[in-house]
Amino acid sequence: MKVLVAVKRVVDYNVKVRAKADGSDVDLNNVKMAINPFCEIAVEEAVRLKEAGTATEVIAVSIGDKACQEQIRTALALGADRGIQVETESNVEPLVVAKLLKGVVDKEQPQLVILGKQSIDGDNNQTGQMLGALANMPQGTFASEVVVDGDKLNVTREVDGGLQTVSLNLPAVVTTDLRLNEPRYASLPNIMKAKKKQLDVYSPADLGVEVTSHLTQVSVEPPAERQAGIKVEDVDQLVDKLKNEAKVIS
Amino acid sequence: MNFPVTEEQRMFLDSLRGFLEKEIYPHEAETDRAGEVPEELGEHIKRRAIEMGFYAANLPESVGGGGLDYTTMGLFERELGKVSYGLGGHLARPTEILLACEGDQVDGYLKPCVTGEKHESFALTEPGAGSDIMSMSTKAVADGDDYVINGMKHFISTPCVPDFAIVFAATGVDDTPRGPRKRVTAFLVDRGEKGFTIQRGPTCAAQRAYRTYELSFDDCRVNRRQILGEEGKGLELSDKWLGMGRVWVAAQSCGKAERLLELATDWAATRKQFGKPIGSFQGTSFKLADMATELQAADLMTMHACRQADNGLMRPEDAAMAKLYASEMVGRVADHTVQIFGGMGLMEEMPIERLWRDARIERIWDGTSEIQRHIIARSLLRPLGA
């Protein structure tokens, strides 16, 4: 089984992000970048499938400028077999990403595509679902467990109020939730091997996709700063404030 | 650190940092308070380090090591400088002196250290022979095919009880143009050898979870096959190790200073007094500026020494300058950090006081600041015959 994994280059989750002074975007100057944590979980799941003998090849794909090769190399160091970069300078939105991934799916014909449920920059949570629709593949989103069962895939999903298990026909699309697995760190020997692994670069045109934009980013601003709390003297004052100031009880 | 790294080095550092955050940082406060690392924890860290290929990363691939060059090792040591050595020591970097192993010694000592089956200790310092190593009193006297060792070594620091010691002992005296000079020989001595006892040394204020041992030799008899390298060439071996060891102390000092600077900066930006973050007062912000500047200078000196070493061009004074400057720098950075934190900086609930204590040893071990200055001055004056 061939597995395709999508990895996105995003601001490292440890970084405190700041808006640019003109409010046009998030300031990415001198900011540490990393694989989106949900994508890292996707890579881990694919590598585990390979280690279990279920997957035969794991391909990591990323879309972006040359810098995203860093994240592809990291995926290779984590155990992916080869990489694909779809080179684009523009800030692509979920629908375009899904179309480009559909192009890669058509080329590679994977049995399984694993993506993060969302990326921690845009928090869109759209790409996997759009890819499923475009490629006409069943989807198991927010996966907390993935079990291959012959030509079927049982995916346990984290839904509001509990867990739901769906059975999908392969080929299928899976998006990962936080509890699917705990990603490993790349070992030193695997880091050294990553450099020698194949990394192909395609343009959107190679995949027959035109990069267009339907969305305009109007402004980016930081969340309002939290006001400091106060201490109340007694219960009466608390009830009074909840009633008349916060207006959360009546 | 704003230093250009290769793709592999970046991935290695990312992976290493993740490893340290998960396996080391959570245990620092507790092991420091206890004054030791529980054996199971040490074994766990070691096992994980072996899985990750971080173990013996300094030794060549030909003997099963990670084969990292000196520059990458410098980056590695820099990260390890951020964490408690008692814990970080379980990501072992066996001494390169062991590469002098020959014949049976390779399987008996070098390889088990690479695979984590054995731990060595480097036994040079004595109560009466610290900086003045030629005043050592440990002797090994030839007796047939054997040598009989008598003497004592102390401050032998390792993360756990060593399986064997590389013991430096005088095997004679040579007449040289500059007067009599001891012939020093390195011996491999196994724990359990008759007449060889190992006991815990005194408690140290710095790196509390890192153990020091006292080794004593009372008519300890070893075969001449236990000589590491050649008879009388022990100091050449130790010099080789001490040279890079000084660069590693420099790198560790930089790492520790970076951790302190991050803590201090974060505190300065968030702690409010007189209605403003304390970082908005120049008494605080100028300290931060000095700390960052000195850290960058120390980093550049350390990386320069590593690169020179990779090209086979590192001079003793390159290592000495990096060690001197970086270890003194981390002392200043630690002191400033305590000052910026105020009272909280000295409380055991915060990591600052521990890092401040830990930083103090960097100016002492692997050659005191005074010895480094001596080496640097000698490099200037000796060519002029002074």
Q: Within an 8 Å CB–CB cutoff, is residue A194 touching chain B?
A: yes
Nearest 5°: phi and psi at B18? -60, -45
Q: Is the pLDDT of residue B89 over 90?
A: yes
- Looking from the CA of B6 toward its CB, the CA atoms found within 13 Å total 11
Do residues B369 and B363 touch, judged by C-beta distance below 8 A? yes
CA distances from B221 to A24, B145, B153 (A): 77, 10, 16
| Range(s) of chain B covered by CATH 1.20.140.10 | 237-384
Cβ atoms of residues A174 and A49 within 8 Å: no
Residue A208: CB atoms within 10 A of its CB come to 11
B12 vs A185: CB contact, 8 Å cut-off? Answer: no
Whether the pLDDT of residue B37 is over 90: the answer is yes
Q: Report residue A156 CA to chain centroid gap.
A: 18
For CATH 1.10.540.10, list the domain ranges present in chain B: 7-101+107-115
Residue B18 touches chain A, beta carbons under 8 Å: yes
Q: B 62-81 residues with CB below 8 A of A? A: 66, 68
Is CATH 2.40.110.10 the right assignment for the domain spanning B120-232? yes
Q: Is B11 on the interface with A (CB under 8 A)?
A: yes
> Which has the closest alpha carbon to A63: A10, A121, A133?
A10
Residue A241 maps to a domain: no
Chain B's closest residue to A187, CA to CA, is B52
| CATH number of residue A134's parent domain | 3.40.50.620
C-alpha span between B148 and B138 (Å, rounded) = 10
Position B1 scores a pLDDT of 65
Whole-number pLDDT of residue A91? 83
The CA-CA-CA angle for residues A12, A40, A72, to 5°, reads 85
Closest by Cα among B230, B208, B256, B228 to B122: B228
Query: How many domains, in total, are found in chain A?
Result: 1
Question: Mind telling me how many Å the CA of B346 is from chain A's nearest CA?
Answer: 27
- Whole-number pLDDT of residue B219: 97
In a domain, A200, yes or no: yes
Q: What is the average per-residue pLDDT within B298-327?
A: 97
How many residues appear in chain B? Answer: 386
- Burial B278-304, CB ≥16 within 10 A → b, else e: bbeeeebbebbeebbebbeebbebbbb
A217 interfaces chain B, CB cutoff of 8 Å: no
Average pLDDT over residues A113-126: 96
Query: Residue B63: what are its φ and ψ, rounded to 5°?
Result: -105, 10
What does the DSSP 8-state code read for residue B347?
S
Assigned domain for A146 exists? yes
| pLDDT tens, position by position, B135-180 | 899 999 999 999 999 999 999 888 888 999 999 999 999 998 888 9
pLDDT in tens, A148-187: 998 899 999 999 989 999 999 999 999 999 999 999 999 9
Q: Which of A73, A185, A188 is closest, CB to CB, to B7?
A: A73
In a domain? residue A101: yes
Least reliable range by pLDDT among A75-79, A141-145, B128-132: B128-132
Span B227-231, mean pLDDT? 95
What's the CATH class of domain B237-384? Answer: mainly alpha
Distance from CA of A225 to the nearest CA of B (A): 13
Interface test with A, best of B10, B11, B79, B262 (most A CBs within 10 A): B11
Q: Does B8 touch chain A (CB under 8 A)?
A: yes
Distance, in angstroms, between A188 CA and closest chain B CA? 5
Chain-centroid distance of CA B304 in Å reads: 19
Residue A138 lies in a domain: yes
Domain that holds residue A38: 2-222
What band does B43 get if pLDDT is binned at 50, 70 and 90? very high
User: What SS3 class is residue B28?
Assistant: helix
Q: What is the CB neighbour count within 10 angstroms for residue B146?
A: 15
Q: In the prediction, which pLDDT does A226 show? A: 83
Indicate the fold that domain B7-101+107-115 takes in CATH.
Answer: Butyryl-Coa Dehydrogenase, subunit A; domain 1 (1.10.540)
Residues carrying CATH 2.40.110.10, chain B: 120-232
Nearest to B52 among A34, A187, A195 (CB): A187
- Whether A62 and A68 have beta carbons less than 8 Å apart is answered as yes
Kind of pairing between the strands at A112-116 and A172-176: parallel
Q: What is the pTM of this model?
A: 0.88
